[in-house]
Chains A and B, each alone.
Chain A
Amino acid sequence: MKAGKLRFSKPNKYWVESSQKRYVPHPEDSVLGIVVDSRSDNFLVDIKGPSLAFLPVLAFEGGTRRNIPKFEVGTLIYVRVVKANPGMNPELSCTDATGKGGEFGALKEGFMFECSTGLSRTLLSSPTCPVLEALGKKLSFEIAIGLNGRVWVNSASPSTTIIVSNAIMNSESLSGAQQRIMVEKLLQKIQ
């Protein structure tokens, strides 16, 4: 059992939220993985967990033996965790539960950085996290957040990407108001 904050949601749901750099794979999590190797029947993918995960070569929308995607070593992919049992290598998929591809698959260009699992959950929370909201008002960028503590940012100019990634990295321990102030300062420095 890991240490963390006790959270409550009405009427009767309590849970403990912890934040680490390491990720423990859990089914139905959307994560960002790095392809390490490709075998005949699955790709080996690093998802920051205790062991490498397997991504079957057919686990793509309309995937058949004939159109297996070619992922070279070091490709960044957005995947969903299907099975994650302790002691076994987790299994991934590039389709959602119904079989549709959606946004899963390789991410082109952009820049990926690592953060804690707590921060990635905050970034994915709704209503929108303050730092993303503040950045989104002034800059245009696309972002993919993995629950395993990896974030991918892409935008038209490298400077925007750098600003966004640094702002998110700095917002780790800041409260909502502090995040907005930090983003404002950062944007002012640029303009």
Chain B
Amino acid sequence: MEQRLANSWRQTVNEKNFIVNALLSELRVDGRRPFDYRKLTIKFGKDDGSSEVQLGHTHVMAIVSGQLLQPYKERPNEGTLAVFTEFSPMADPSFEPGRPTESAVELGRVVDRGLRESRAVDTESLCVLSGKLVWAIRIDIHILDNGGNLVDAANIAALAALLTFRRPECSLGGEDGQQVVVHPPEMRDPIPLIIHHLPIAVTFGFFSNENIMVIDPTHHEEAVMTGRMTATVNANGDVCSIHKPGGEGVNHRVLMHCLKLAHVKAGDITAKIKDAVEIYNTQRALRKIKRHSSSVALDVGGTPAKSGEKQNQVDGSQLPQSKFKDEASSMECDATSSGQEQNNKRDGVSQKFIGGPSSWDPYSECVNPDLLKASLASHGPATQRTQKGSRSETKAEEPPQEMKIDSSPTDAGLAAAQNNEGKTLKDAVKPKNKRKKKKVSSNSGN
């Protein structure tokens, strides 16, 4: 109790008065003008669909994930969208772990309303089997540092994450067209969500003096202001939502002025988000390009799906994809799948790799027994060995590619990419093989 009293943040009377007085002369404590936004930085994580936004001192992270679920009964043809917020205790002394507080729920609702009501995310394209299976998109917003104006930052983070999220492509197969096959990222590129427009949330703070209004309040200003309003507007000028939770009443003229300002700000922020996403996409495409250009040339399979946890052990693996895709039943996915379609023709050593991603992942099912039998038949005892065994086999066959695969296990494509390099730089590369082999064998020993 004492600790909590001592640790909580307090504001002095001096500060309150100063902030209001300075605003009378249109000055804000951090040197901004009343309608200026703080510096906005948008970064992306390694995986698709994760973003990190910094708006001044406010730091927010958003992760988008998708799962195949049953749709709601009233909307059998539409995918679903859900927003979850987590106010981490490291963000602010007043945040407690456990149940979301009112403000956490409020933040989630504002972000959700902006996306859902305006139909920014196309949910009909998320339907896989009408009435049975649809993509359920989940946005998790984590607040890492509370520097004020969490709503705007969280909204930008959610949008950036949605724009960079890629969901696995799935197709209908089977005799009656009712079996769904989810293709892993290596076989078919995951596809982005269809997002029609970007609803940007702009928060206004009102102070007891009628004429004072600020955009993007800081934590200290939030403690002083007497009313707030969040207007979610897109760059086209459409008002997606207005959220005014109590507080000081505002004149309708002020409200219209706010909406116009929000429109201008929305334009700026939309441009910034799009630029950041553009840069991320070009980087992503660069990685993709390497993979495709080299895969034509050589004889090695790519790395298995979801190699995230098993990076160090990943190796060339080969499954006759084309044969078994048709036979795949219901939701089973080639857990050990790897390489692209061209790899089907090549010889390689197949490898049993049971991925270990999160439990709901569609392609973490156990291996199809038919596949197992087929691969056993085609490749003999090699397939039953541990990764060490298969690795040594591939080593014998394709040393240069082997080395390259080890060096960049995370990206499936890179493996093949480096195979290409291996071919062209074979002579230069050979001496390195020995080193890598030793490393590999010591790795596999682990």
Contact = CB atoms under 8 A, between A and B. Distances in A.
Interface of A: 34, 36, 46, 49-52, 72, 74-76, 107-112, 152, 157-159, 161-163, 165-166
A111 B11 CA distance: 11
Contacts of B14: 76, 107-112, 152
Q: Sort A-B residue pairs by CB-CB distance and give the 4 closest, nearest first.
A: A158-B22, A111-B18, A74-B13, A76-B12
Contacts of B12: 34, 74-76, 112
A50 B6 contact: yes
A107 B18 CA distance: 13
Nearest to B2: A51
A112 B14 CA distance: 7
27 contacts: A34-B12, A36-B5, A46-B5, A46-B10, A51-B3, A51-B6, A52-B6, A72-B13, A74-B16, A107-B14, A109-B18, A110-B14, A111-B14, A111-B18, A112-B14, A152-B14, A157-B25, A158-B18, A158-B21, A158-B27, A162-B22, A162-B28, A162-B31, A163-B31, A165-B29, A166-B30, A166-B31
Interface of B: 2-3, 5-6, 10-18, 21-22, 25, 27-31
Contacts of A109: 14, 17-18
A55 to B, nearest CB: 15
A158 B24 CA distance: 10
Contact of A159 (B3, B6, B10, B27): B27
Contacts of B31: 162-163, 166
B15 A112 contact: yes
Contact of B29 (A50, A74, A108, A111): A111
Contacts of B21: 158
A52 B18 contact: no
A76 B12 CA distance: 6
Contact of B10 (A36, A161, A162, A163): A36
Nearest to B11: A74
A159 B18 CA distance: 11
Given A46-B6, A51-B2, A162 B15 contact: no
Given A51-B3, A52-B2, A162-B27, A110 B18 contact: yes
Contacts of B2: 51-52
Contacts of A162: 22, 27-29, 31
A159 B21 CA distance: 11
Contacts of A51: 2-3, 6
B303 to A, nearest CB: 43
Nearest to A110: B14
A188 B16 CA distance: 28
A159 B25 contact: yes
A125 to B, nearest CB: 25
Contacts of B5: 36, 46, 52
Contacts of A34: 10, 12
Nearest to A44: B5
Contacts of A74: 10-13, 16
